[in-house]
Homo-oligomer: A and B are copies of this chain.
Amino acid sequence: MSRGDDLDRWLDGHRGELLRQLIDWVRIPSISADPEHTADVRRSAEFLAAAAGEAGFPRAELWETAGHPAVFAERMEDPRLPTVLIYAHHDVQPADPLDEWTSPPFEPVVVEGELRGRGVVDDKQNVCMHLEAVRAHLAVVGRMPVNLRLLVEGEEESGSAHFEDLIRSRRSELAADLAVISDTGMLGPESPALTIGLRGLVYWEVRVAGPAHDLHSGLYGGTVANPVLGLATLLAGLHDGEGRVAVPGFYEAVRVPGAAERQEMARIPFDEAGFLAAAEVPGPSGERGWSTLERRTVRPTLDVCGIWGGYAGAGAKTIIPARCGVKLSARIVPDQDPDVIADLVRRHLLDRAPAGLTTTVEVVSRGRWVSAPPDHPALGAAGRAVEAVWGRAPSLVREGGSIPPVAAIAAELGLACVLFGVGLPDDRFHAPNERLRLEQLHRGTRAAVRLWDELGTLGAAGLGRPAGPASPG
């Protein structure tokens, strides 16, 4: 098809600009979890709003929240065309441990066809991909085949605390026929995929306090409760010997996949060996009776994300720590309710709180899982766009990660969601030396260009809009 070829040629001719834009953006350390980077998250939003304006969105602005700002951009081509809401995020994970990066996290470098830096793949590349697809359409065709509303939040990596409030208060400006979520990935460079499920996330911080200050472990050792030993006992009681979460009721609402679904999952070209090799672990581990792919997608988990307390410096310091803490996260699956799970774990920890110490549990964030119907026409359109670029139909997969705002978009805005993103499992999301393989970015941009054409061909009615002249919003 000549139009696709023309668009591809334009994209090929502009790779340098695309890469430069991404690099400039990655230089801004938009770490939303760290209050020291508050100004950087705002700088990142301002960078993006300017870039969206230049790319061809007549309206591009910051949307303030009680936390970090989101970016909204809009290009309404024709009210009769389908309107698509794109969701992504411009904030990034913290970069520590810093000493494990081979190059500074916010000084992105291109090495052997990949770009390295914090946020290159999660999630700035997906946003750049979408901006580039718009530029291509406008340059080659002169117009977009769909109306676009772009919402890029600034708090995804720290729990999206204000996202629901934001979309509730902006509901009419976000009206659309479909949401395209770009914060997921594929199975491998030659194993394209579209995501039809995400796990939910509940995050706790647990603190155990003992003496008012650190005590000399000689003077006090043996006489008072040690907070770290108390916390260790709490943590050791979170799982049973079979790798199952030992919190009563934790599995009660879990939708257990049937034999047919398990067979279908077994056919997905999931590279378990590669997946484990990327983590450099000796082997898989977890709940007995389920495959690795099942354990990371349709089974819930409870993990420790961090622990601290007392002396962690060089050499020996002989103290009984005054206090310690731990960060816990659960990935939850249909039909677990995040509020119920948040409370079950909190109560479980408080019920077993060690004697002589003060245990507190704070629920830091909670987000629902997502489960999309595999027969939605937009998913078919996305499948054709991906197949045209990769030469094979994408697998429909469930993901282990969580994007709480996707659940909010589905629930609050009543939108069907297509999850389209091009990161790969070994791209070191959230880890040192996060990387983006540039070939994925370029293929993804070609697919995005085609996705808008496919959705334009489908038309608003094909996406389920009731007959009538009005565009949503």
CB within 8 Å of B: which residues of A?
32-35, 93-94, 96-97, 100, 157-159, 199, 201, 203, 210-226, 228-229, 231-239, 275-276, 279-287, 292, 295-296, 299-301, 303-322, 324-327, 329, 331, 355-356, 364-365, 399-402, 425, 428-433
Contact = CB atoms under 8 A, between A and B. Distances in A.
Contacts of A34: 313-315
Contacts of A100: 213, 322
Given A218-B199, A303-B221, A432-B213, A316 B310 contact: no
B158 A316 contact: yes
Contacts of A304: 226, 228-229, 232, 309-310, 320-321
A431 B216 contact: yes
A303 B430 contact: no
Nearest to A300: B222
Contacts of A307: 228, 232, 307-310, 312, 321, 324
A285 B232 contact: no
Contact of A306 (B157, B311, B355, B401): B311
A121 to B, nearest CB: 11
B315 A306 contact: no
16 contacts: A158-B316, A159-B316, A212-B280, A213-B431, A216-B430, A218-B402, A220-B279, A223-B292, A224-B276, A228-B306, A231-B232, A232-B307, A285-B356, A304-B320, A307-B324, A318-B329
Contacts of A322: 97, 100, 431
A421 B27 CA distance: 57
Given A211-B279, A280-B211, A319-B430, A217 B303 contact: yes
Nearest to A358: B282
Nearest to A302: B221
Contacts of A327: 310-312, 316-317
A254 to B, nearest CB: 12
A429 B356 contact: no
Contacts of A233: 232, 235-236
Given A219-B401, A224-B276, A430 B214 contact: yes
Given A236-B236, A305-B217, A318 B203 contact: yes
A320 B303 contact: yes
B306 A312 contact: yes
Contacts of A157: 317
Given A94-B313, A314-B33, A221 B301 contact: yes
Given A224-B286, A317-B94, A401 B303 contact: no
Contacts of A217: 303, 305, 329, 331, 430
Nearest to A101: B213
B316 A223 contact: no
B321 A433 contact: no
A159 B316 CA distance: 7
Given A97-B214, A217-B305, A305-B217, A316 B203 contact: yes
Given A222-B299, A431-B216, A319 B292 contact: no
B224 A279 contact: yes
Contacts of A429: 216, 219
Contacts of A223: 275-276, 284-286, 292, 295-296, 400
A237 B35 CA distance: 38
